[in-house]
């Protein structure tokens, strides 16, 4: 029986997956929109939405959690707390949008764009 696995592994060890998610999250926070593979975008969505929800709390514990999840990156965590999260103060989730872009020409991977709503 094939059971549901919670997260994708991307053929990487845990530290590489963590670094990948941190990097994608920082890029999304700094640029507002990124283009990546469809699987990475789908995996990034709950990661970044939990950070925005925590940032809306505004507590010291939330700021420390965000800093830890983003790898101690102060610029991205400040931008998340000061610019991105206040836009979604009244919104109950659904902060990001994934748009499918189709396959890449050289290796046929499905690409997608993820952006803030």
Q: Which regions of the chain does DSSP assign to beta strands (E)? A: 33-37, 96-103, 110-116
Kindly report the CATH number assigned to the domain that includes residue 88. Answer: 3.90.1030.10
- Whether 104 shows a pLDDT value over 90: the answer reads no
pLDDT for 63 equals 94
pLDDT tens profile 1-42: 888 888 999 999 999 999 999 999 999 999 999 999 999 999
Number of domains the chain is built from: 1
Does 7 reside within a domain?
no
Specify if 6 maps to a domain.
no
b/e burial code for range 18-55 (CB count within 10 A of at least 16 → b): eebbbebbbbbbeeeebebebebbebbbebbeebbbbb
Q: Looking at residue 70, what is its pLDDT?
A: 95
In a domain, 55, yes or no: yes
The residue range of the domain holding 73 is 14-116
């Amino acid at each position: 029986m094939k059971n549901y696995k919670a997260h994708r592994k991307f053929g990487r060890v845990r530290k590489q997956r963590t670094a990948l998610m941190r990097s994608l999250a920082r890029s999304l926070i700094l640029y507002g929109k990124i283009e990546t593979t469809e699987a990475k975008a789908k995996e990034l969505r709950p990661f970044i939405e939990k950070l925005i929800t925590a940032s809306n709390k505004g507590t010291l514990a939330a700021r420390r959690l965000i800093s830890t999840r983003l790898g101690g990156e102060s610029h991205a965590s400040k931008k998340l707390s000061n610019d991105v999260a206040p836009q979604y103060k009244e919104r109950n989730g659904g902060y990001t949008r994934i748009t499918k872009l189709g396959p890449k020409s050289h290796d046929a991977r499905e690409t997608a764009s993820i952006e803030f709503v």
